[in-house]
Chain A
Amino acid sequence: MTTATASHDEHHHGPEKGLMRWVKTTNHKDIGTLYLWFAFAMLLIGGALAMGIRMELLQPGLQLMDPHFFNQLTTMHGLIMVFGAIMPAFVGLGNWLIPMMVGAPDMALPRMNNWSFWILPFAGGILLSTFFMEGGAPAFGWTFYAPLSTTFAPDSTDFFIFAVHLLGFSSIMGAINIIATVLNMRAPKMKLMDMPLFVWTWLITSFLLIGAMPVLAGAVTMMLTDRNFGTAFFDATGGGDPVMFQHIFWFFGHPEVYIMILPAFGVVSHIIPTFARKPLFGYSSMVYATASIAFLSYIVWAHHMFLTGMPVAGELYFMYATMLIAVPTGVKVFNWISTMWRGSMTFETPMLWAVSFVFLFTIGGFSGLMLGIAPADIQYHDTYFVVAHFHYVLVTGALWSIIAATFYWLPKWTGKMYNEGLAKVHFWWAVISVNVLFFPQHFLGLAGMPRRIPDYSLQFADFNMISSIGGFAFGASFILFTYIVIDCIRNGKPATARPWEGAKGLEWTLAPKAQYHSFNTPPSRELIKSESQHS
């Protein structure tokens, strides 16, 4: 099969030369690469802002910056990491992998794909430019609650609104493209239940995106008209209600957190079977669990708002509905553990990241359950406990899976092998420092340290210093990560077509460095069957 596809390549043009290749490209692999580098650049910028936050919080008192600038840092850190780093990184992985995994030659809408990427640098640029505007960048938190973001916001907020519109546009186009690719470009012999889990989780994520992102666009549009055109959606004077902003925001915001974690579940469901050398345990239950999580994510939003003065009936409903999500999530975690059970496990770098994902993401899940208890949330709300919780699920969850995916598929992307020894050093460096960084924040939160405040009272000093030191070490680990990836691209030893012994999936049937155009002939039923994750 590999040779057959390779011989087809002779009639096709390779990539264009020079810079215009990247501007004009409609190739899913090029666009995937662009997305991944863009996300990585934004990760470094967002990380630099986080370093500023941790530097200010190293000691009690105001050392480095005035509180207004601190607020800008926390706000922009959140916005950049969510909309600039994690989401584009997953779209990049989806672009690179989904066509290869479903045996399609490219994405269904290659030109729209180009457009949805090239919107991003402009949106990111607009967002970052607000730092240099009069009044500074948005400083109302990444959740931009009204009236902080309407009546009391700096003028740069209108630029922020425009940037969010663009980012939303890009994500929706990406989602439409993935749905069309999976449903229409899939190899004719591949049934839906033959699809690898990364494809399944992305398909479901796409439906979350087209359901939730327009609501965010609606929320910022209402903010825009409230600010500039005299409407009063969120203004009590004109009959509006600022609490309604929170409902609309979290109606988007809760599906959004699953948008950022479902593809991560997919990645881990590829890596664990590979290095356990066993088929994925409970494939179909994984699919149904993903779909139930997606459905439930739309009906639990107000658990972010337990302190807005909800009736007890509302608190009870949202509390129980939230607890319900632990069931399908538990199914997934136990399936991963069962996949590893009595497997012939080896611990290459992607597996290290994947196993630590399961462990650390579960810690984040448990603290999420604690926050979901309405009476307990009265104590935890807006403390560092919340910060610890969502960093465990987003850093050691979403970001972990992106790094795991990078190491796992890097040989297929570059045709070369990364330095395994250095990558292991990087893993242990990152996994230790990230826990030094975020674990003490649980204790800070339980003791009552509020989030988004640049100063704190003295009893919080020790844990904050530990956390900051962990933060600097974790930030520095990305220097090593950058080196490992660039070293792999430049000097890596040639990889084989299937560098991981137990790896299954159509992408591994391609050349060691996947051809520029792959699967011009759809794969046969036999090949799909033999590369399937389950028997």
Chain B
Amino acid sequence: MADDLRKRDKIKTSFWVKLISAPIFMFVFAIFVMPPIYDVFCEITGFNGTTGRVDADQQYEVKEDRKIDVSFFAMTMGGFPVQFTPKVHAMEVKPGKFYTTSYIAKNNTNQTIIGQAVPSVAPTEAALHFKKLECFCFNRQVFKPHEELEMTLRFVVEPELDERIQDVSLSYNFFKLES
């Protein structure tokens, strides 16, 4: 009887290794693999309103017959003490053509403030084809006491944008960075 028991107790080491490494693998996967995959996924698909970047030498065929209304929005989060507004609230653009506009930010305090703008494009299907050549959101921004900054934005809406989309809105959310 004892032999019988022992036979059943014998478990191969490789079985243990598999059984214990599976949860460890999933833990590491969740922390170190899922977030980068998610970032790449957002960049490729424009999922979640993530906008793309474009190089200066990129050329598009301009679609003269199509017009898209682009609206600009500005928001601040968590008591960010800077007045933040788009210089123009809306523009009519042709797909494939580069446009320049700007946002204005005024620091009303006596302190230097460092902030980061996070963009989002709606509808999400448009995000993939909303490309920026130059944007204040690429870097953190430093606002000296009582300084007013005009921050440039250079963008293009790619001609591949779905025919059904006629309105695109771009919003920036400014967050205060520590330090």
Residues of A within 8 A of B (CB): 8, 104-105, 108, 151, 172, 176, 179-180, 183-185, 188, 210-215, 217-219, 221-222, 233, 236-238, 240-241, 243-244, 247-248, 251, 308-312, 314, 520-522
Chain A neighbourhood of B176, CB < 8 A: 237
Q: Tell me how many residues of B have a C-beta within 8 Å of chain A.
A: 40
The A-B contact count (CB < 8 A) is 103
Q: Is there an interface contact between B42 and A241, defined as CB atoms closer than 8 Å?
A: yes
13 CB contacts below 8 A, A to B, read A180-B11, A184-B8, A213-B23, A218-B31, A221-B27, A240-B35, A241-B48, A243-B48, A248-B34, A251-B30, A251-B34, A309-B124, A522-B4
Expressed in whole angstroms, the minimum distance between the Cβ of B22 and any Cβ of chain A is 5
Q: Is B133 an interface residue (CB 8 A)?
A: no
Knowing A215-B30, A219-B30, A221-B31 touch, does A180 contact B19 (C-beta < 8 A)? yes
- Which of these, B8, B34, B125, contacts A185 with CB under 8 Å? B8
Chain B neighbourhood of A188, CB < 8 A: 7-8
In the complex, what distance in Å separates the CA atom of A221 from the CA atom of B20? Answer: 19
- Which of these, B7, B45, B173, contacts A311 with CB under 8 Å? B45
Q: Is there an interface contact between A108 and B30, defined as CB atoms closer than 8 Å?
A: no
Chain B residues numbered 16-40 whose CB sits less than 8 Å from any CB in chain A: 19-20, 22-31, 34-35, 38-39
- Which of these, B5, B15, B47, B122, contacts A314 with CB under 8 Å? B47
Q: Which among A180, A212, A237 has the highest number of chain B CB atoms within 10 Å? A: A237
Chain A neighbourhood of B7, CB < 8 A: 188
Expressed in whole angstroms, the minimum distance between the Cβ of A219 and any Cβ of chain B is 6
Determine chain A's interface SS by DSSP, over half rule: helix
Chain B residues numbered 62-103 whose CB sits less than 8 Å from any CB in chain A: 78
Q: Is there an interface contact between A210 and B22, defined as CB atoms closer than 8 Å?
A: yes
Q: Is there an interface contact between B26 and A211, defined as CB atoms closer than 8 Å?
A: yes
Q: Is there an interface contact between B48 and A309, defined as CB atoms closer than 8 Å?
A: yes
In the complex, what distance in Å separates the CA atom of A314 from the CA atom of B25? Answer: 27
Q: Is there an interface contact between A214 and B125, defined as CB atoms closer than 8 Å?
A: no
Chain B neighbourhood of A522, CB < 8 A: 4, 8
In the complex, what distance in Å separates the CA atom of A236 from the CA atom of B118? Answer: 7
Q: Is there an interface contact between A214 and B30, defined as CB atoms closer than 8 Å?
A: yes
Expressed in whole angstroms, the minimum distance between the Cβ of A29 and any Cβ of chain B is 17
Chain B neighbourhood of A185, CB < 8 A: 8-9
Q: Is there an interface contact between A214 and B27, defined as CB atoms closer than 8 Å?
A: yes
Measured CB to CB, the nearest residue on chain A to B124 is A311
Q: Is there an interface contact between B8 and A104, defined as CB atoms closer than 8 Å?
A: yes
Knowing A218-B31, A312-B125 touch, does A520 contact B5 (C-beta < 8 A)? yes
Q: Is there an interface contact between B19 and A233, defined as CB atoms closer than 8 Å?
A: no
Measured CB to CB, the nearest residue on chain B to A11 is B1
In the complex, what distance in Å separates the CA atom of A237 from the CA atom of B15? Answer: 44
